[in-house]
Amino acid sequence: MGLKTTLLRWTHDERGATAIEYGLILALICIAIIGGATLMGNSTGDAMQNAADQFPS
């Protein structure tokens, strides 16, 4: 197998591109989950603190 054949085969192979696309989709989903969890955690913490402040110490 010559160098030209190897390069042509490599340029037509799309498995790497598909893996990269799936990796990017996974990264975006992870970012969305982490962002949502952070926002929910902050608002839940604030709500709990407000409830705790209502009790006399």
Please indicate whether residue 50 or residue 14 has the higher confidence score (pLDDT).
50
Summarised one tens digit per residue, pLDDT across range 20-35 is 899 999 999 999 999 9
Q: What is the pTM of this model?
A: 0.57
Provide the pLDDT for residue 22. 92
Average pLDDT of the residues in 34-39 = 92
Q: For residues 6 and 18, what is the distance between their CA atoms, to the nearest angstrom?
A: 20
- Which token pair is 24? 């990017």
Could you tell me how far CA 3 lies from the centroid of its own chain? 38
Provide the pLDDT for residue 1. 64
